[in-house]
Structure 1
Amino acid sequence: MPELSTILNGHQRQEAAAALPSLLIATRHGESTANVEFQLAEAKGALTVPITCRDADIPLSIHGQSQAQALGRWWADLPSDDRPRSVWCSPYLRTVETARIAIAQAAGLGAVPVGLPVRYDERLRDRELGILEMLTAAAIDKQHPQEAARRRKMGELYYRPPGGESWADVALRVRDCLRDLYAAHTGRPVLVVAHDNVVLMLRYVLEQLTEQELLALTPVRNCSVSVWRSNAGGLHPEQWNATGHLVHV
């Protein structure tokens, strides 16, 4: 006999279905001009990079634009039921450009409607680095040795630079964003266009990783795709950091 707590007005209580998208796809923006400059600076051991604009205003490189086109072709090749008709995007320029180019490519192939709307959400913005913003690793060691030492002691998940965010801070806003995304797109596929740390925190949250499991992950690549599919009341990993669609870019 069922307990009284499971009975409501003479009927067995039914568990509510989980409010989840059918598919959650996350991608990091294509290669940005800052990605290029930091790679050059790190290779030379330089302390500075020639970037004067805000982090939010950094655009894609030419190669990054090609990667976004390849993302659109990958999108168009998905089974019809898996093609997102909803896009959530960081408001930073490099993610806005990635989403715009990918949508145009997929629409040109007849896979999604032309002018597909995009929801820009500041909770998907890149991690804020405070006083360390636009500094190379060599510059941090030289100009902020105490911060470099504190970072090593605290670990990447919990280290918060002055004026900036820790990975855990980003995870908090990712959790909050997911609640709204789930409610808006229950039962439908959705694409998130964001940044490396945001995609990393999506996996951390969705798969309930430990700190050690999180730190063991490889860096999130530009325009890679990570996919979680709804099944048995949860979102389960199907692909992670995949770049096969970028082979010929």
Structure 2
Amino acid sequence: MSNDVTTRLFLVRHGPTHAKSMVGWSDIPADLSDTAALDRLHGYLPEEALVISSDLSRARDTATAIGRNRRRLEDHPDLREIHFGAWELRSWSEIDAEDPERIRAYWETPGDVTPPGGESWNQVCARVNGAINGLIDAHRGRDLIVVGHFGQILTQIQRAEQLTAEEAFSHRIDNLSVTELTHQGTDWDQGWGCGKINHIP
């Protein structure tokens, strides 16, 4: 297949967890009781699209709920949320009381700042970019529904729109929202297009 074909990405954030803490790699289930919202999302997404998700249950179960009769690809661990390390499942106020400079730098000037035992924003971007690049390479010209997480979706908005990390973090990404990107060609620094961001069908 020609490398000039356009691949469309539909980035879906998993259903809500209702957690009031930093949830990264912890495997907390999603609340998928809003069947009307799931039905709308299922109906909005392309019928012939391939479906892939991170390997965390909140993404996997959301993918199952909206994918239905679509072809499912193997779950990919590199599509996970940010790894918060020692901050995992703790509140902002808890961490701010212990390490205010680091947590504020992490969110206000994201880049190489790393939570203890976790990963920096730049590391998240490298991980997710690699997974998305591989997915596009394997399925050029297809529509791809990628069910994942807040941070994972922001990494792709950042590179598609050529934003700074701070600009990317200004975007709101709601649960069960869709962000639509396209890619054409083989140059990962170019060929991106960005459509709807945080669209709720």
Class of the TM-score when normalised by the shorter of the 2 chains:
0.7 to 0.9
- In structure 1, the residue matched to 2:132 is 178
Q: 1:201 aligns with which of 120, 138, 155?
A: 155
Question: Contact (CA 8 Å) 1:72, 1:103: kept in 2 or not?
Answer: no
Q: 1:119 aligns with which of 39, 53, 74?
A: 74
Determine whether 1:130 maps to 2:94: no
Question: Contact (CA 8 Å) 2:109, 2:166: kept in 1 or not?
Answer: no
| One-letter code aligned to 2:102 | E
For the structure 1 residues 71 and 137, does the alpha-carbon distance in structure 2 shift closer, same or farther, using more than 3 Å as the test?
same
- In structure 2, the residue matched to 1:241 is 198
| One-letter code aligned to 1:142 | A
Q: 2:37 aligns with which of 70, 77, 85?
A: 70
Question: Contact (CA 8 Å) 1:20, 1:182: kept in 2 or not?
Answer: no
Question: Contact (CA 8 Å) 2:78, 2:127: kept in 1 or not?
Answer: yes
In 1, Cα distance between equivalents of 2:135 and 2:14: 19
| One-letter code aligned to 2:90 | L
- In structure 2, the residue matched to 1:211 is 165
In 2, Cα distance between equivalents of 1:227 and 1:149: 30
| One-letter code aligned to 1:60 | A
Deviation by residue 1:157-201 (Cα, 9 ceiling, x = unmatched): 332111111221111012211221111111110110010000000
Task: Answer 1 or 2: which has greater helix percent.
Answer: 1
For the structure 1 residues 225 and 84, does the alpha-carbon distance in structure 2 shift closer, same or farther, using more than 3 Å as the test?
farther
In 1, Cα distance between equivalents of 2:50 and 2:25: 26
Determine what percentage of the aligned residue pairs are the same residue: 27
In 2, Cα distance between equivalents of 1:30 and 1:193: 10
Structure 1: gaps spanning 5 or more residues: 1-15, 42-48
Deviation by residue 1:127-169 (Cα, 9 ceiling, x = unmatched): 00111111111101223345346547x7233321111112211
Larger Rg: 1
Give the TM-score, by structure 2 length. Answer: 0.83
Q: 2:54 aligns with which of 67, 90, 95?
A: 90
Question: Contact (CA 8 Å) 1:87, 1:117: kept in 2 or not?
Answer: yes
Count of aligned positions: 196
For the structure 1 residues 17 and 122, does the alpha-carbon distance in structure 2 shift closer, same or farther, using more than 3 Å as the test?
same
- What is the Cα deviation at residue 211 of structure 1? 3.4
Give the TM-score, by structure 1 length. Answer: 0.69
Structure 2: gaps spanning 5 or more residues: none
Determine whether 1:18 maps to 2:4: yes
In 2, Cα distance between equivalents of 1:183 and 1:149: 37
For the structure 1 residues 228 and 71, does the alpha-carbon distance in structure 2 shift closer, same or farther, using more than 3 Å as the test?
farther
For the structure 1 residues 206 and 83, does the alpha-carbon distance in structure 2 shift closer, same or farther, using more than 3 Å as the test?
farther
